[in-house]
Amino acid sequence: MQTEQLILTDTFCISHNVDYAFIRSLYENGLIEITTREEKTFIPESSLEFTEKLIRLHNDLEINLEGVEVVTYLLEQLKQQQQEILKLQNRLRFYET
């Protein structure tokens, strides 16, 4: 059975100096995953990196929740396009001498 590491949301908030309400709203908008166990909320370790990225966008650039959502969507699109470009470049290499 695969086990997953969970980080207590309160601990995360203290450690990252972020308000719990913001984490909650990220979850409610479907941007991050939160697990509830025995009335306590946790962030799975697998989504820690992504959650930290959203916090950085919020804290460093003073972007609100809606802005974070748009930026995340556009970054994902950019990533997909870059992968597509890479695939096409590799195909193009085949025809180059």
Partner 1 sequence: MDFIDYYQKLGLKKGATDEEIKKAYRKLARKLHPDLNPTDKEANKKFQELNEANEVLSDPEKRKKYDQYGKDWQHSDQFEQARQTGRRSASTGGQDFSGSFEGGDFSDFFSSMFGGSGGRSSQAKYKGQDYNSELQLSLRDAYTTHQQTLNINGKSVRITIPAGIDNGQVIRLKGYGAPGVNGGPNGDLFITFSIANDLRYKRQGNDLHVSESIDLYTAVLGGDATIDTMSGKIKLKVKPETQNGTKTRLKEKGFPVYKKEGEFGDLYITYTIQIPTNLTEKEKALFMELASLTS
* Interacting residue ranges for partner 1, rule: CB under 8 A: 15-17, 49, 52-53, 56-57, 60-62, 71, 75, 78-79, 82, 86, 89-91, 93-94, 96
Cβ closest to partner 1, residue 20 vs residue 61: 61
- Comparing CB distances to partner 1, the nearer of 29 and 86 is 86
Q: What is the 3-state secondary structure (H, E, C) of 6-74?
A: EEEHHHHHHHHCCCHHHHHHHHHCCCCCCEEECCEEEEEHHHHHHHHHHHHHHHHHCCCHHHHHHHHHH
Task: State the minimum distance, in angstroms, from the CB of residue 39 to partner 1.
Answer: 25
